[in-house]
């Protein structure tokens, strides 16, 4: 029998963050490396990428460029999450037999990626990079996690 490789608790936390403005510190084990940072929504991650690209290309406001693609993804992700929240709220007031509610839950789009802000990889010499970056990783590659962010003894 095949086993699900993605942690259902972590998946629900990511789903919660994606559909809200919640953010919180988390530490992940990913392919043998420890990554620590703040769990953020996919929408915010796309917005951060757009800002980074806009700054690095010195694009003027309203000027099309690579950053525009990420702005579009951020907008469509936000719209999708808003629509999903409306459907969930509408279903809260509906009494459906268990078999139908199970079908609704199973029809949710799977969470494939997890997004962090100020992410740093734990290294024997400290954190890389020291400042942190916005980070995106595959959920199926997370082998362990805990709430809270790792810090050096001086921070």
pLDDT in tens, 26-79: 999 999 999 999 999 999 999 999 888 888 877 666 677 778 888 887 888 777
Coil, strand or helix at 74: helix
Domain span at residue 97?
8-147
- The answer to whether residue 55 sits within a structural domain is yes
- The answer to whether residue 76 sits within a structural domain is yes
- The answer to whether residue 38 sits within a structural domain is yes
Torsion of CA 22, 150, 30, 115, to 10 degrees: 20
To the nearest whole number, what is the mean pLDDT of the chain? 83
- The answer to whether residue 3 sits within a structural domain is no
- The answer to whether residue 36 sits within a structural domain is yes
72-83 b/e (C-beta count within 10 Å ≥ 16 → b): ebbeebbeebee
Question: What is the number of structural domains in the chain?
Answer: 1
- The answer to whether residue 154 sits within a structural domain is no
pLDDT band at 1 (very low <50, low <70, confident <90, very high): very low
- The answer to whether residue 71 sits within a structural domain is yes
- The answer to whether residue 35 sits within a structural domain is yes
87/39: higher pLDDT: 39
């Amino acid at each position: 029998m095949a086993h699900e490789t993605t942690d259902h608790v972590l998946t629900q936390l990511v789903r919660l963050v994606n559909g809200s403005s919640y953010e919180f510190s988390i530490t992940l084990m990913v392919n043998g490396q420890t990554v620590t940072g703040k769990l953020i929504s996919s929408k915010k991650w796309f917005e951060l990428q757009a800002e980074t690209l806009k700054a690095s290309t010195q694009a003027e406001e309203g000027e099309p460029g690579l950053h525009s693609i990420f702005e579009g993804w951020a907008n469509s992700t936000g719209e999708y999450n808003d629509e999903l929240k409306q459907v969930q709220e509408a279903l809260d007031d509906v009494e459906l037999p268990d078999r139908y509610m199970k079908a609704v839950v199973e029809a949710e789009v799977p969470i494939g990626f997890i997004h962090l802000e100020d992410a740093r990889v734990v290294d024997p010499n400290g954190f890389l990079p020291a400042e942190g970056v916005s980070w995106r990783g595959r959920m199926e590659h997370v082998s362990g996690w805990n709430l809270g962010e790792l810090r050096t003894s001086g921070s």
